[in-house]
Amino acid sequence: MSLSPEAAAQLSTYSQVAVGFAGFAGVIGAFSRFRMHAQATAFRVRAMVGVALLEVIFSLLPPLVSGFGLGEALTWRVCAGLLAVVTTGLLAVMVRQASILYRVGRLMRNAAYLLSAVGVVVIVPLYATAAGVTGALAPATYFAMLFFGMALCAYHFILLMVAVQLDESEEVAAAASGPAGGDPGTSHTPPTP
């Protein structure tokens, strides 16, 4: 038995968006200089790429599992169980890493702990799905975790964009234009009569 067309379309969308996030994180990490907290920024790049790759894998997993002839309900149970175990491990690693890296910034540390708490809230229904408790809500719990992964990627992407340092040519242009936004080649003194 195969998955419903709606579920297959959603999984395909998650997979494509995750590939985009992984690509952006790779480009940002490889070609950018960061103006603050290099260790935390490197962690964000690794976290974003790791979460995006897991999103791709777990977006492709349900069609693969259903291809073995399992029913749709059993497919969601198997995939939810695997996703729950992997995300629990990933969450434990990220909480540990965030507690080490974000000692200097209370706001970043609190955001990391808040995201971790939301992750726990989303992981628990996955275990219930794997145990067969959720029934018809099995696809919804699976997609909730995939959505949370996308939100996590977006969070790290925004923080990466904030941390990127401008090139020297961009800094010169920004300084020359000043707050008034004038042309850097013109003088701001009035002409003499």
Confidence of residue 125 (pLDDT cuts 50, 70, 90): very high
Q: Is the pLDDT of residue 82 over 80?
A: yes
> Which residues, 6 or more positions from 112, have their beta carbon under 8 angstroms from its beta carbon?
94, 95, 98, 99, 102
Angle in degrees, CA 70, 71, 76, rounded to 5: 90
Is the sign of the CA dihedral 177, 179, 182, 187 positive or negative?
Answer: negative
- Output the pLDDT for position 165: 60
- Output the pLDDT for position 11: 84
CA distance 68 to 136: 21
Pinpoint the alpha helices (H) of 32-71: 38-66
Confidence of residue 182 (pLDDT cuts 50, 70, 90): very low
> pLDDT exceeding 90 applies to what percent of the chain?
20
The more confident residue out of 120 and 99 is 120
Residue range 20-48: mean pLDDT, rounded: 71
Confidence of residue 186 (pLDDT cuts 50, 70, 90): very low
With contact defined as beta carbons under 8 Å apart, do 160 and 21 qualify? no
> pLDDT exceeding 70 applies to what percent of the chain?
72
Per DSSP, 135 falls in state: G
Residue range 120-134: mean pLDDT, rounded: 90
Confidence of residue 188 (pLDDT cuts 50, 70, 90): very low
Q: Is the pLDDT of residue 147 over 90?
A: yes
User: What number of residues does the chain have?
Assistant: 193
- Output the pLDDT for position 144: 92
